[in-house]
Structure 1
Amino acid sequence: MYKRVKGSWTKHLDFMILDLVCYEVAFMVAYMVRHGFSVPYEVAIYRHMSILIIFIDICLVFFMESYKNILRRGYLQEFKATVSLATMLVLLLFFYMFLTRSSDMFSRTVLLVFWGLTIGISYVARLILKSIVRKHLESNGDWRSIIAITSNELAKETIENFKERAYRDYRITGVIVPDQDMVGRSFLGVPVVAYLDCAIEYMRSNVVDEVFINLPPEEKLPQELMDACVAMGITTHLNLLQASRTGGKKVVEKLGSYTVLTSSIQMASPRQLFFKRALDICGGIVGCIFTGVIFLFVAPVIKIQSPGPVFFKQERVGKSGRKFKLYKFRSMYVDAEERKKELMAQNEMDGFMFKMKDDPRIFPFGHFLRKSSLDEFPQFWNVLKGDMSLVGNCYIIGTTKKNPVFSSVCPIG
């Protein structure tokens, strides 16, 4: 599912909350400077003023887009932006006092001290948070992996464009040059990972969240590759300097400095993804509680019938090829993998899957666990961690059960 961001102010909710906290702290200190060691919330008019500060700030952020490009601002640019927002806030407070004829009830000293403290506290707090966010984005792997499908001539320009916008939630991790076999070479440190004939296979076996197509107007679009991306749930961005016949849901947006046509099987706003994740967390917590209760009853039986670990973990592939550890109650003997080699001749499935009737590797109580799907309950821990999801458009795990508790994999992010 593709996360569609509609406005710059919603992307920086953390900075907005930080500013609001700084403003309230500044307002409290300014009041103490003028009236001694007491809090302004004890006086009705100042209590109303503190609420008004929050309301005005939210309106200013919405209309002024105060946090646009905040991570790329230098010290001076950030100081100017902080002064601008704080000054507008104080001017509107004075204007409110004039309209309501309540200026005589407020101390102008409080507002002037509040203005100075707001600039200082908010500026320092922003610099600290920006430093933390930058380090997080640089060190954390929780960002969207984008493959650039471009020509040899445009590859360097494309990568430079994205590197100029380093503090974003996406990274160019590879380049596909459709008409040339340049695998092994690199552009500005980004490797060429495939050409047209092997591109689909590469995206099947590696982590790819999105692809960005930037080809010269005279070069034919790789329609088969674009259709395969949509089929695999990989979001595609097409530079709008070209025509497009992509499938899936579409929206025009900005990616770097390019105007692109984005296609995806499903799109969601930040609000929708927030409620989706909130539902997963609530469901995961409830499921983990039930898992703990079930553990008290099934763990002793598993230990008695098959000494060894109670839980079974296995590496699975989730959204965009990301791997994670899946947890279940163990239903097979600990030497099940060794026994499988001896039973391969009785395999009823083709490929990598193994299935046989009355599998001797399953101990007696394990049959009950599988039939009742109780062995699936530890997967609620995966839901709570964000490896799996209870709702949404997700990718299906290969499972032979008739009634699993859930069988979808949908990593968040």
Structure 2
Amino acid sequence: MNQRRRSFLRYTLMIIDAVVIVFSYVLTYFLRDKVFTFGLDDLAPFPVYFNLMGTVLIVWMILLRLFRNYDFLRGHRLVSAWRICRNLIPVELVGLGALAMGLFFIRDSVVSRTFLMTFAGVNYLLMVAAKLLFRVYFYRLQKKERYHRKVLLLGNKRAVEQFQATARTTPELLLNATVEPRFVFPAERPLDDQERQRFFGDVLDYVTQNVVDEVVLAYSDLKLQELAPLIADCHRMGLMVNIVLDFSGIDYTRSEVDTVGPFNIVSFQSYDFSPVQRFVKHTIDYAIGLVGFLAFLLIFLVVAPAIKLDSPGPIFFVQPRKGKNGRDFNLIKFRTMAVDAEARKAELMDQNEMQGHMFKIARDPRITRVGKILRKTSLDEFPQFLNVLKGDMSIVGTRPPTAEEFRQYEKHHRRRLSVAPGITGMWQVSGRNRIDDFEEIVKLDTWYIDHWSVWLDVKIIGKTLFVLLSGR
């Protein structure tokens, strides 16, 4: 309902951020060139740095969006000062790292690295100051009467009460608005044509005689076709009309309404990834996947002969797994078990230490000597970077089940497959050797899907590296 105002605030913040970034860049050059010169080399002429400024602006604006610096509303107010400061930290760190890597790969020796570090610090301080000032401005704006919307709430008693109850717990729903709940009729039965016409006439009379900015229609019994005459009259009078659609019985993470031709289509999604976030996740996957693949080629030169000398059989273990939404793909790993491992699995089922639809035992007799080393160091996982480059897997995601495990899944288990499976994930960094209940793994995966962000993936990757290096 307040999407236009939210968009206005978001675009205003984006313009302010762009101005701050450019100002910080120019100010940093001045400070570094004219003030902080002791013991430092002279900077190249400003035109050299001016050529880089456009790249800096684009990178920082993208990072501000990725790290949710424009998700500025918490209920009816802007986010806290602490949250503003916290959300800007990864922007500066990742941006600084991206610029440093880019300059390294193009072998640039002109742009000063101390200039970039100074810019990141100056930009952070000015960005925090600008956002805090905007926060103060927003609160003062709320108090001004002329910025309050007059909202007319119409509908039957049950629908209106539900809407008002939701508004009390979600103040953002009626941001900066004064609501007038008039024309609430108690009847739960559908109105006949005569009652409906009289009701609509009373509404229009009220609108023409009072200040009304928006109309909210909360009817649980009327069809959209029956509301069409009232909507058309409001449109002719220049009023925004909001129709409350009750999806309270539907449990989905995200819903969107889109218009395709004459149709209004409501889409329900089980995860909350924006197109930009999905693009960044894929970019990270391919970037790390390429580095991992190069590492795999080096590891292959040592591991492949060791596997062949240790036990007869192929170097790789290729197993059909279920990927996103149940798609079949072949997962690739270095072979760590005897070639008859799958055939011997049935006789070991009574030793399974996992509760639910997974199989795991501590001292699996099927594992080879080299396989024990590969598993302990996680080197057996490196061929999966091929799966990442093929698009079957992601760097961070959920564990892909076998076809047998998938057949035993209950409905809520399938949500694990609403995202691409990953080489690492919440289970791997949450003490997988201590978790023996499949439902606990499902909870971890569901939490990951519900709270996904680029920063969460970065943290999981960091924790994975720590686990590998520490040998835990």
Q: TM-score, normalised by structure 1?
A: 0.47
Q: Which structure features the higher share of helix residues?
A: 2
